[in-house]
Chain A
Amino acid sequence: MRTTLTLLFTKFIRWMLKRLGRGGSLPGSIALKLDPQFLKHFTYPNKVIMVTGTNGKTTTSNMIYETLAKSGLKVIGNRRGDNLKAGITTLVAANAGLNKRVKADAMVIEVDELNVPKVISDVKVDVFVINNFFRDQLDRAGEMETILRKLEAVLPDFTGTLVLNGDDPNVMRLALTAKQASIYTVGVARNAMSSNTSDEASEGKYCPVCDCALHYHFYQYSHIGKFYCPNHDFGDVTLQLEAAAVDFEKSCFEVAGVRYKAPQNALFSIYNCMAVLGCLDVLQIDRQYAAQVFETFALNDGRMEMFSLDGKDCLLNLVKNPTGANETMKYIQRDQEAKALVIVLNDNDQDGTDISWIWDAQFERLMSADVRTIICSGLRAYDLALRFQYGGFEGRLLVKPDMQEAVQELKKQPEHLYVIATYTALQPMRAVLRRNT
């Protein structure tokens, strides 16, 4: 009875907020205040897919959502990235009938790493996709070790299927504790971006079984790669699904002889695709639906989004942590022409209030002769400028904390234009860029 009343009340709050043009996680927060056990009382669809990891959660879960929809299923999901327990609760309340049955064939939820234990204890999850674990906003998430331990504490009870990135030792470590789960591993074969050494900030360099330093046959990026422990079988992963024949000229790859297009021409994008394909295999849904989604998929929300500034192309991309920043910079540096950039660094809660990650990211990648101008912007613009000053950047270094002023300055530059922004700067920056077309 309590749950039904809470459900009705939550639906009402959500309806009110929607009329006010708002939504998000507030109705769910209220429901959980009224009934902390709220999520336990529902009958869930027989396909519940949960996606977590440091990078690529939103993209991966959205691609799974679209693929399942394409295959003819009725799908619900937290597509806007409300990935805390409250956001999931709003989603469930909105889509449940008074019989407490969630009305859908499949539910795809992106869940924040630290919220996984709180969600998995209450919601029946069939497929759990884990992308990767990188050093992220450390002040909020705590050391990566803390996150992994929290997951290790709940995984022994998980009886569904784990779809894991077999090339990430931090992810594969979790398979050791999930004794009741089925494991399905995906990864990417050696390709033009692979290297024998790595100098990027990475976590999980040590074997979780014996603490020795992990060895690598090759690295893909950061600590992702073909790792192995010299003493144990940790890392002796036989991938169930592997991307081969990766072609960065044409932005495509092959799985079991079938060619797929990567939505973004970068390794991390192929890893996201592999997670989607792994998920489909587990659900026994034809991979061809995903192929169609990969062809046309675009988030258009600041992940490699193209704008026009006075008729000139300008590429906007979100960065959240060192690994994401490194991959974005590698992508930008494939353009060997002269460049000018705006980089916006904010330190609000959702960006991470600790900005020291900019020293772990390899901004040296931008300190080359073809980068002519860097305009630092955002709440911590001066900290960013110090990063470039002390890193030895020899081009023109400007500081314009105000985003509009930064873009005004960028427009004057004759070079190819790029904008990088942290999370809370992204939407304001999109608005600024749209105003300046």
Chain B
Amino acid sequence: MELSIIWMYHDLMDLYGDRGNIEVLKYRCKKRGIKLQVDTCGIGEEKDLSAYDILFIGGGADREQGLLYQDLLGRKQAIQKAMNAGTFILLICGGYQFFGQYYIDGDGRQIEGLGFFEYFTKAPDRARRCIGNIAVECSLDGESFLAVGFENHGGQTIGVQTPLGKVIKGHGNQFQSSWEGFYNGQVLGTYMHGPLLPKNPEIADLILRKGLYRRYGKVDLEPLDDALETKARNVMLARMQIQK
């Protein structure tokens, strides 16, 4: 089987180790004999986004996000086309915020979003941020599990209709909120860095299955030995005093 990923703004949106997510997808494909192609797309680069099975955007600092948002807005039609063509989309932090209506940064400047979803994001001021370990109870397409990560965001995301999961420990979309992220079956947005996928192999495999679906329909992935992943996650769950 073959699979392709377009990693957008890899040189700008690579805060907090988000690049690790790509490493995880590569490894889990290789173990299963799936041929994975990873392409990058920087500012001004011409790429047919709808030709890819998975699209990924990580998080970036305010300054970097300010540099690229014009380019991103210019690709609104191309991203819509990719969504229509069944491309699965993974968005971390800044990438997640961009898919909403707008983003107001710590200095009060408003940046227009792609407007695909109803939610919007406001950063109150530079002094207050949601920072720390986070545990989220996810129930995605019938599969339930606890996801762990590290969040570090000033932006408060408001108006998410379909969150990724319920916050067990940490902040989530807003200060001390009940819900984290966004998931509608095709787009997964989250504030979870860490990076997200090494300790959450369920999410990694969900993304792979979703990506493969576009070409091959429903596929079952061969299970991998996730002993280290499970232990790493259990260390954090124990730290947060959460029963598995």
Using a CB–CB distance below 8 Å, which chain A residues touch chain B? 138-139, 142-146, 201, 205-206, 211, 353-360, 379-380, 382-383, 385-387, 389-392, 399
Interface of A, helix, strand, loop or mixed by DSSP? helix
Q: A385-B232, A399-B228 are in contact. Are A211 and B198 (CB under 8 A)?
A: no
Taking Cβ atoms with an 8 Å cutoff, the residues of B that contact A are 11, 14-20, 23-24, 26-27, 61-63, 67, 126, 129, 131-133, 150, 152, 193-195, 198-199, 228-229, 231-232, 235
Chain B residues within an 8 Å CB radius of A143: 15, 61-63
Inter-chain pairs besides A146-B126, A356-B150, A387-B198, 15 sampled, C-beta below 8 Å: A201-B14, A206-B67, A355-B150, A356-B18, A356-B194, A357-B17, A359-B23, A360-B19, A379-B235, A382-B231, A383-B199, A386-B198, A386-B232, A390-B27, A399-B228
A-B contact count (CB 8 A): 83
Give every chain B residue within 8 A of A354 (Cβ-Cβ).
Answer: 16, 131, 150, 152, 193
- Please pick, from B27, B62, B63, the residue contacting A392 in the complex, using a CB distance under 8 A: B27
Residues of B within 8 A of A144 (CB): 61
The one of B11, B19, B62, B195 in contact with A145, judged by C-beta atoms closer than 8 angstroms, is B62
In the assembled complex, the Cα of A65 lies from the Cα of B221 at a distance in Å of: 61
Which residue from chain A places its CB closest to the CB of B197 in the assembled complex? A390
A380 to B26, CA, bound (A): 23
- Considering the chains assembled together, what is the distance between the CA atoms of A385 and B15 in angstroms? 21
Complex Cα–Cα for A354 and B20 (A): 14
Cβ–Cβ contact B232 & A359, under 8 A:
no
CA distance A298 to B26 in the complex (A): 43
On whether A356 and B16 interact (CB within 8 A), knowing A144-B61, A392-B27, the answer reads yes
* A359→B63 contact, CB < 8 A: no
The reply to whether B63 and A206 form a contact with Cβ atoms under 8 Å apart is: yes
Q: In the bound complex, what is the Cα–Cα distance between A282 and B192 (angstroms)?
A: 47
Report the Cα distance A383→B195, complex, angstroms.
10
* B152 and chain A: residue at smallest CB distance: A139
Assembly CA distance A365 to B143 (angstroms): 38
> Out of A142, A356, A382, which one reaches B195, CB within 8 Å?
A356
Chain A residue nearest to B232 (CB atoms) is: A382
Residues of A with C-beta under 8 A to B15: 138, 143
The contact of A353 among B133, B198, B228, by CB within 8 Å, is B133
User: Shortest Cβ distance from B176 into chain A, in angstroms?
Assistant: 18
A356-B17 contact, Cβ under 8 Å, with A139-B131, A206-B67, A382-B235: yes
Query: A391 and B23 in contact (CB under 8 A), knowing A356-B17, A356-B194, A358-B17?
Result: yes
Q: Do B228 and A382 touch across chains, with their CB atoms under 8 A apart?
A: yes
Decide: A356 near B20, CB < 8 A? Known: A383-B199, A389-B228, A390-B198: yes
Contact residues in B for A359 (Cβ distance below 8 Å) = 17-20, 23, 195
Bound Cα distance from A306 to B198, whole angstroms:
34
